[in-house]
Amino acid sequence: MSFVGIDVSKSRLDFAVRPGGEQWSIANSEAEICKVMERLAALLPQVIVVEATGGMETPLVAALSHKGLPVVVVNPRQVRDFAKAMGRLAKTDRIDAEVLAHFGEAVKPELRPLKDEDSQMLTALVARRRQIIDMLTSEKNRLGISPKVVHKGIKQHIAWLQGRLEDIDRDLESAVRSSPIWREKDDLLRSVPGVGRVLSVSLLAGLPELGALSRRQIAALCGVAPLNRDSGLFRGRRAVWGGRAHVRSVLYMAVISASRFNPAISRFYRRLIEAGKKPKVALTACMRKLLCTLNVIMKNRTPWQDGYIMSQVALD
């Protein structure tokens, strides 16, 4: 039984195997990836570890999955923290592949089913929507500080981006409504006051575990669970960090709406403010409350009911 680490770059793939220390490199091309599958299968790997690299790893991971090899895509920050803990401060492609193999051997990350083609398409559309919104924000900020001579071009670009945003929104709506499974989940999520199309689609694409985990697990996965900072007699302030930032940012915007239009979230928010909590702390608690409510709804396949659902979400 072996553990394989693969470092992915645009032009090259670096492989490392533990135990044994075998290493090699190939070009990052479809032909070379196909050739290396048999060599990897012969190693009988318990796990093949690949870092998430913004999409460059997708062809490799797809090929490994199609071959039936146990591949897992891990968070680069976790692997880098592991390398520091092991005293591996230097960083090259070969070293990164070794660290990934060592990480797989020591941590044995849980294998999770990979997204199917439809889920990958939905994720790509959500990611593209986020990119367009970022570009729109940048251009609008630029319009306010740039000389008038360039205003016409910036306004034309803003109009073009807004058109593309409308196209993406139509594609997302079509993708969700054309799938019976996604349509059912979308209807359940959007039955909650304050949950609109953007949050629903973001959860479907970015948090597929919703409804399958406990409330503590789903809160930690999204990065809205308060983490302790205690040592000896010192008791530090609890804070939230980590998790899936893109989901958390959309959830935050939804909670601002829910704190006004969702009666249960609104009552919870007011109670926290009256108890002396700062608005941002209260909103974070509301994010956790709303997320856990959605988790219950997805788990029970039960649409929103104010008293019934909120009675099952004990955060306060």
45-51/71-74 β-pairing:
parallel
Are 90 and 133 members of one domain? Answer: no
The domain boundary residue, chosen from 137, 155, 178: 178
Residue 315 lies in a domain: no
Of 152, 178, 204, which residue constitutes the final position of a domain? 178
Q: What is the pLDDT of residues 217-244, one digit of tens each?
A: 898 888 888 776 666 766 667 777 677 8
Residue 10 has phi, psi (to 5 degrees) of -65, -35
Render pLDDT for 12-45 as a digit per residue (tens, 0 to 9): 999 999 988 899 999 999 889 999 999 999 999 9
Q: For the residues 293-298, what does the mean pLDDT come to?
A: 92
Q: Which single residue is written with the structure tokens 């941002």?
A: 280
- If you average pLDDT over residues 298-307, what whole number do you get? 84
Q: What is the mean pLDDT of residues 88-112?
A: 91
Asked whether the whole model's pTM tops 0.85, one would answer no
Other Cβ atoms closer than 10 A to 61? 20
Query: Is residue 19 reached through a cis peptide bond, with omega within 30 degrees of 0 on the bond before it?
Result: yes
- Determine the pLDDT at residue 307: 61
Inside any domain, residue 184: no
Looking at residue 316, its pLDDT comes to 44
Q: Does residue 279 have a cis bond before it (omega within 30 degrees)?
A: no
Does one domain contain both 67 and 171?
A: no
Per-residue confidence band for 58, with pLDDT thresholds at 50, 70 and 90: confident
Q: Please check the confidence at residue 164 and state whether its pLDDT lies above 90.
A: yes
Shared domain for 60 and 31, answered yes or no, is yes
Residue 156 near residue 164 (C-beta atoms within 8 A): no
138 & 171 share domain: yes
Where in the sequence is the domain holding 140, given as residue range(s)? 117-178
Write down the pLDDT at residue 45: 93
- Token readout for 257 is 């709406």
Domain end, chosen from 178, 201, 226, is at: 178
pLDDT in tens, 263-287: 888 999 999 999 999 988 899 999 9
| Contacting residues for 218 by C-beta, under 8 A, at least 6 apart | 207, 209, 210, 291, 292, 295
Number of other CB atoms surrounding residue 264 within 10 Å: 22
Report which of 27, 111, 120 is spatially closest to residue 69, judged by C-alpha positions. Answer: 111
Residue 112 falls inside a structural domain: no
Residue 55 domain flag: yes
Closest CA to 56 of 94, 15, 116, 12: 12
Residues 157 and 231 in one domain: no
Same-domain pairing of 125 and 230 = no
CB atoms within 10 A of CB 27: 11
316 within domain boundaries: no
75 φ, ψ (degrees, to nearest 5): -75, 125
Tell me the average pLDDT across 164-170: 94
- Same domain? 30 vs 102: yes
For residue 147, what pLDDT is reported?
93
Q: Is 40 inside any structural domain?
A: yes
- CATH number for 66: 3.30.420.40
Higher pLDDT, 261 or 97: 97
Predicted pLDDT at 260: 83
Main-chain dihedrals φ then ψ at residue 11, nearest 5 degrees: -110, -15
Residue 315 banded pLDDT, cuts 50, 70, 90: very low
122-to-37, 226, 298 alpha-carbon distances in Å:
28, 30, 19
Q: Are residues 202 and 279 both part of a single domain?
A: yes
Is residue 97 located within the same domain as residue 205? no
Question: Number of structural domains, the chain?
Answer: 3
Please return the burial class of 248, using the count of CB atoms within 10 Å of its CB with bins 0-12, 13-18 and 19+: buried
Residues 103 and 19 reside in one and the same domain: yes
SS3 content of the chain, % helix, strand, coil (to 5): 60, 10, 30
Q: Note the pLDDT of residue 310.
A: 58
* pLDDT interval class at 142 (50, 70, 90): very high
Query: 60 and 16 share a domain?
Result: yes
Residues 194 and 305 in one domain: yes
Give Cα 1 to chain centroid, integer Å: 31
